[in-house]
Amino acid sequence: MFGKIAIIQFFLMLAMAGAGVAYFHYTEGVINGLHEDNAKLQVAVSTQQATIEAQQKAAKAQAEQTVVLQQTIDDAEAQRRELADKLRNKDIAAMARANSVELEQRINRATAQAFSEITKLTTPQDRPTPAVATNTNTNTTAASAPSNPAVTTPIPTTSNTLKPSNYQPPPKPPASSKGVTP
């Protein structure tokens, strides 16, 4: 009888040891899973912190750019007001009556300069700026104004010799665009 109890106790101890080993492996797996989850959460938190810092930097840069833009707008508005005051104080009709040839020359030079600046601003950087030929003929209708060959007006060049071999014309807007005239 003592031997039967010892064998039963031995099997119970073996079952308890097996259950303990199984429980150990189970808890070890749970702990490993929790460590992996913790690592994933730490990566997510660090990514979110980096994103927050980047957004804060971007917001700060945008605020600085907004201040610069506002200052530029204020400067442009001041220049506009100054030009409007100058135009209000000038009598262009009286200037034209006094010296029409000089006024025409000044207008033609300013027009050529404006055209050149617009061409420079609107030409893509990968394309050469087209050359602008000047016309030295004046087409004045006033009989009393002398002919002045120094007056220049822009003439767009159509010669293919000035264009490089890889020149591509700018794209045309779609025909179905609303509010755009061809």
pLDDT-based confidence at 138, cuts 50/70/90? very low
pLDDT-based confidence at 163, cuts 50/70/90? low
Residue identified by tokens 């104080």 is 89
User: What is the structure's pLDDT at 148?
Assistant: 46
pLDDT-based confidence at 112, cuts 50/70/90? very high
In sequence order, the 6+-apart residues with CB closer than 8 A to the CB of 89 are none
Are 100 and 145 in contact by the 8 Å Cβ rule? The answer is: yes
Euclidean distance between CA atoms 182 and 175, whole angstroms: 8
**Higher-confidence position of 153 and 41:** 41
- The mean-pLDDT minimum among 81-85, 100-104, 109-113 falls in 100-104
Mean pLDDT across 113-132: 79
Provide the mean pLDDT of the chain. 79
Q: Provide the percentage of residues in the chain whose pLDDT is more than 70.
A: 69
Residue identified by tokens 């073996």 is 14
pTM over 0.85: no
Q: What is the tens place of the pLDDT at every residue in 17-59?
A: 999 999 999 999 999 999 999 999 999 999 999 999 999 999 9
Residue 57 token pair: 């930097």
Mean pLDDT across 1-18: 88
User: What is the structure's pLDDT at 175?
Assistant: 63
User: What is the structure's pLDDT at 178?
Assistant: 57
Q: Provide the percentage of residues in the chain whose pLDDT is more than 90.
A: 45
Q: What Rg, from alpha-carbon coordinates, does the chain have? A: 42
